[in-house]
Amino acid sequence: MTAINFKREISATVGHAIERATKALSAEGFGILTRIDMHSKIKEKTGKDIVPTVILGACNPNLAYEAYAANSDVASLLPCNAVIREIAPGKVSVEFAAPSGMMRILGDAKLTALASEADARIERALANL
């Protein structure tokens, strides 16, 4: 796989999509560590408007531990981002970072292989939105 994320469009508001994504990720062992309302921050810092966009920092602690134990440089690539972005009224793009795509950045084949389980979990969460 060469993708950096898994993506799906759904009919929902941004708020409802966040709830659905959080629940789907939770079912796969991921918790939400952070939330950035990107559109609000862009407006606050630049005065410019972008479509409602929320970035959730998702982490599966067991998989994160395994990755960190294999190569501590992985810390700079954690947590996995989940992006919820309005593309039209009532239509949202849900984008989950592909862990193996991020791990390839480090050039560590063992870490990339380890990320395949996280990929499978992320893909299942996306399918279950």
Q: Using H for helix, E for strand and C for coil, what is the string for 43-77? A: HHHHCCCCCCEEEEEEECHHHHHHHHHHCHHHHHH
pLDDT of 52 reads 97
Q: Please state, in angstroms and rounded to a whole number, the distance separating the CA atoms of residues 127 and 25.
A: 10
What is the percent of the chain with per-residue pLDDT over 90, rounded to a whole number? Answer: 80
CB atoms within 10 A of CB 85: 21
Residue 92 has pLDDT above 70, yes or no: yes
Whether the per-residue pLDDT at 1 is higher than 60: the answer is: no
CATH superfamily entry for domain 5-127: TT1751-like domain (3.30.310.70)
pLDDT tens, position by position, 21-51: 999 999 999 999 999 999 999 999 999 999 9
- For residue 6 the two structure tokens come to 């898994």
For strands 53-59 and 31-37, give the pairing: antiparallel
Q: Enumerate the domain spans of the chain.
A: 5-127
pTM beyond 0.95: the answer is: no
